Structure 1
Amino acid sequence: MSEENNIMQEEEISEKAYDSRLMKRLLKFAKKYWYLFLLAVIFLFAATLVDLARPYLMGIAIDDYIKKSNISALNRMGIYFVLLVAAGFVFNLLQIYVLSYAGQYIIYNIRQLVFSHLQKLPLSYFDRNPIGRLVTRITNDTETLNDMYTNVLITLLKDFAILLGAVIIMFRLNSSLTWITLAAMPVVLILTVIFRLRIRKVYRNVRTAIARVNSAISENISGMRIIQLFNKEKPNFERFNKIGKAYYKASMNEVVTFGLFRPVIEMVASLTIALLIWNGGGKVIDNSMEFGVLYALINYISLLFQPINDLAEKYNILQSSMAASERIFMILDTPAEEDAGSLEFDAEAAAGDIEFKNVWFAYNDENWVLKDVSFRVPAGRTIAIVGHTGAGKTSIINLLSRFYEIQRGEILINSINIKDVQKASLRKAIGVVLQDVFLFSGRLNDNIRLNEESITDEKLQEAARYVNADGFISRLPNGYNEEVMERGSTFSSGQRQLLAFARALAFDPAILVLDEATSNIDTETEILIQDALTKLTKNRTTIVIAHRLSTIQHADKIIVLHKGKVHESGTHQELLAAKGMYYSLYQLQYQQQNA
């Protein structure tokens, strides 16, 4: 499926502004903090009572004290009113603080849960899902949920309380004028339904457009070297400009839709107030109604339309939250990596023979990458695996570490099927050095130690010296405390490789796997790396995957893979004497080097 189709599918997964199934799951995260939400509700209703009381008190002040010139009572009412406003401020402040406190804790828990679950997912999941999209799930989507917990769930109660409270008080003040006011509500209801239908489509278009923008930015920044190398800045910008314009149009459509809803509702509110003044003003003039009552009714109409005005924003938040939650739950509902193993390796068992017995493996269906592969690595010996690109060399590493499970056959270590061994125990016994060494941002020594507390500074530095990494580390301004930029971009390929060797040695694995560990390295660094390799592989069961055949001549055994099968095997000299595929590969590389 193309990236474009993925974006369309993902942004259209939820068209509902409210999904009871999703809401039920979201409320489970809030259940732990029920006491905070209860406290917020108490503060909220207290603040609502203050909001409802103010117009009523103003009406009393006008009719009973101002009209009758009761100065002392008016002064007391003024004090009460100031205290009421202050109380409303405190209640609102406390409600916002408690809700925000609870909301942040909930989002923290969701983010930790998603991140923790991601670490348990099989590698095949990350093959199918771009990194940028997963980062968005953990950051943007979880933050979207925060708006729902803090700005929608509890505040909706306040909106209903204000609507109900205002209508009840208005009926107590003057029922006939209240009925006139409520006559505008069907118009508001129709406008709200129209808005809801319109904004759903608009919102979906905006989400799809921003997803395309994010995807284009991520892709172009990652491929900036290729873009500049082939002078494609201009056509690339034109392509991005087209995507940007589509997002601009979608955003402006959203702005216009939201911009129309609020003024239209405010216009209906103003017409309702005008109708109230027209009817109520006559009654005040002929003394059939007090002016303070009319004043209070006008204020209550403003209160009545305030939640309706906020409806557009709350609807947007709710719809965003439903879409965000569905994407988050898609991650959480993905089954974690299964581990049926119950055994734990001790050091002696892990250092035993490795044997692949009639192994068949495919990443997808029966598109076999390995076909009936069998070989054995005696304990403490080194074997090398060579072959053309796509022959299945790297798949052997993935299978040995159980990043993927084989479909047929067995993989044994010391006669123990690795499926019976706990994955954590198995991977602890295997040290892997990849061609593309990954370094984390942080300090250099942390990149060797990887938060393993048992690796002391002395052991770490001893490992670095042993694999010749100490030479360049000692020349760094901060030595082992040097800050590492993202992916180790300030280090050369050879330096990163030496750090990977130091990392492997510091963890002292029983089995060592080297995947193209000497590719793309300059001659001087290669000498250091070859010396480090000799030390690393000594008395250690080792599997070396290499393109440079000159680096594996001293391996105890060399296996040639071709189209997923073991084509031939033997020592370097035996394979050259056989004049088969290995001989052809060697001759080709020899000619290239001479050229």
Structure 2
Amino acid sequence: MTRLSPPIDANRKERPRENDWRLFLRLVPYARRSGRLALVSILLLIPVSIVGAIQPLMVGQAVSLIRQEQTWFFLQERSLAEGIHILSGLLLLTIIIRLVFGIIQKFLEETLGQRITAGIREDLFDHVTSLAVRFFDRTPVGKLITRLTSDVEALGLVFSSGAIGILNDLFSMVFIALFMFSLQWQLALILVLMLFPVTALIVYFQQQYRKANYIAREELSSLNSMLQENISGINIVQLFRREQLNGEMFRAVNQRYVAEVDKTIFHDSAVSATLEWVSLAAIAIVLWLGGWLILKDALSFGVLSAFILYAQRLFNPLRQFAEKFTMFQAGFTAIERVNDIMNEPIEIRDPVLEEELGSWGAG
């Protein structure tokens, strides 16, 4: 009745894989159904990114004001107390703008994700219920349940929190880089150049994460399938005294699943540790080179203070980008698995149903 699943790697090599871009395009028709919602959510990222990039400048101006260095024109003729009050008010204003716009943008983003998820779930359900009976004979119910629940949930996050979140990170890095170059191009160039090797390293770890994550989700499907078979057929299990044998088989699949999840944890942790180290190294470089420029009267304390904050903020979007990339890899794995179901041919065809399911094949 219950069988031990074959090694997952063997199954994976037999199936041709689509590239990530083609997989992502399969979600675009669902996003188009809520195109206005997606557009507004993306446009709100611009003011959020701009005010986030301005905040370190204000802190730098406050330091320059205290040290009586060159400041913005509207602060030059004012006293220290007046200047601090003005900068504090402007900083508070940017915080409020970022908070309000950020809440609205996040709400729209999550709403978009839920709409995409609902659309895919409905199409997948319609497709599955139209398949021939022999498909269900060879496909355990537990695996189908996993496709319709956890895999579909991961798909909505790919476009909403994933794609729009990555745009947010890119906007943040671009505006931060622009403001840094407007202050001091040498320090800005060093920090920007550090992004390239770090990004390459992140991509490598994320590729390894995806490989392990695909196998882990396949093992989870096997785990759910075995659990469903044993529970639904408990009378047969007990009749033939297979409790111990089935328990050993279940533990074997469970151990394989845990081993693959451990691999995903390792690759994800490697990304976080790398970014933490690079962020600290960037601050150290800014302090060393900035201190040298200050000794040569080529840099002010205010600009150095702003760059220390920029060094932290420049790598925060990259850290968030890495987290989104992990979400992307899990989502692409889910798209592959859902795609396997959607590619199953429908023998008795309904023209109306085929038109409704056309969104998935449009990618």
Q: TM-score range with shorter-chain normalisation?
A: 0.7 to 0.9
Q: Which residue of 2 aligns with 1:52?
A: 53
> 2:291 is matched with which residue: 278, 281, 295?
281
Q: Which residue of 1 aligns with 2:81?
A: 71
Q: Which residue of 2 aligns with 1:158?
A: 168
- Any idea what the Cα deviations from partners look like across 1:267-290, whole Å, max 9, x if unmatched? 112112101101102323453211
Q: Which residue of 2 aligns with 1:295?
A: 305
What is the letter of the counterpart of residue 235 of structure 2?
R
Q: Which residue of 2 aligns with 1:20?
A: 21
Aligned length: 337
Q: Which residue of 1 aligns with 2:31?
A: 30
Change (3 A) 1:177 1:66: same
> 1:210 is matched with which residue: 220, 227, 232?
220
Change (3 A) 1:15 1:299: farther
Change (3 A) 1:39 1:196: same
State the TM-score, normalized to the length of structure 1.
Answer: 0.53
Contact 1:14 1:322 in 2 (8 A): no
Change (3 A) 1:321 1:276: same
Change (3 A) 1:22 1:99: same
What is the letter of the counterpart of residue 66 of structure 2?
I
Structure 1 distance, partners of 2:191, 2:322, is 22
Instruction: Give the secondary-structure state (helix, strand or coil) at the position aligned to 1:184.
Output: helix
Q: Say whether 1:232 aligns with 2:242.
A: yes
- Any idea what the Cα deviations from partners look like across 1:34-93, whole Å, max 9, x if unmatched? 100111012111111111111112112221x33335211211221121121011011111
Change (3 A) 1:189 1:114: closer
Please state which structure has a larger fraction of its residues in strand: 1
Alignment of 1:166-315 (within 5 A): 166-315=176-325
Contact 2:209 2:329 in 1 (8 A): no
Structure 2 distance, partners of 1:201, 1:331, is 20
Alignment of 1:96-107 (within 5 A): 96-107=106-117
Q: Say whether 1:82 aligns with 2:86.
A: no
Change (3 A) 1:120 1:205: closer
Please state which structure has a larger fraction of its residues in helix: 2
Structure 2 distance, partners of 1:130, 1:243, is 15
Alignment of 1:395-406 (within 5 A): none
Q: Following superposition, which runs of at least 4 residues in structure 1 exceed 6 angstroms of deviation?
A: none
Q: Say whether 1:136 aligns with 2:146.
A: yes
Structure 2 distance, partners of 1:19, 1:253, is 21
State the TM-score, normalized to the length of structure 2.
Answer: 0.84
Structure 2 unmatched runs, 5+: 69-78, 351-363
Structure 1 distance, partners of 2:193, 2:292, is 19
Structure 1 distance, partners of 2:37, 2:298, is 48
- Any idea what the Cα deviations from partners look like across 1:338-382, whole Å, max 9, x if unmatched? 369xxxxxxxxxxxxxxxxxxxxxxxxxxxxxxxxxxxxxxxxxx
Structure 1 distance, partners of 2:33, 2:195, is 39
Change (3 A) 1:3 1:34: farther
Structure 1 unmatched runs, 5+: 341-595
Contact 1:11 1:208 in 2 (8 A): no
Contact 2:155 2:335 in 1 (8 A): yes
- Any idea what the Cα deviations from partners look like across 1:12-52, whole Å, max 9, x if unmatched? 65766x52222222101111111001110121111111111
C-alpha displacement at 1:5, in angstroms? Answer: 4.7
What is the letter of the counterpart of residue 123 of structure 2?
L
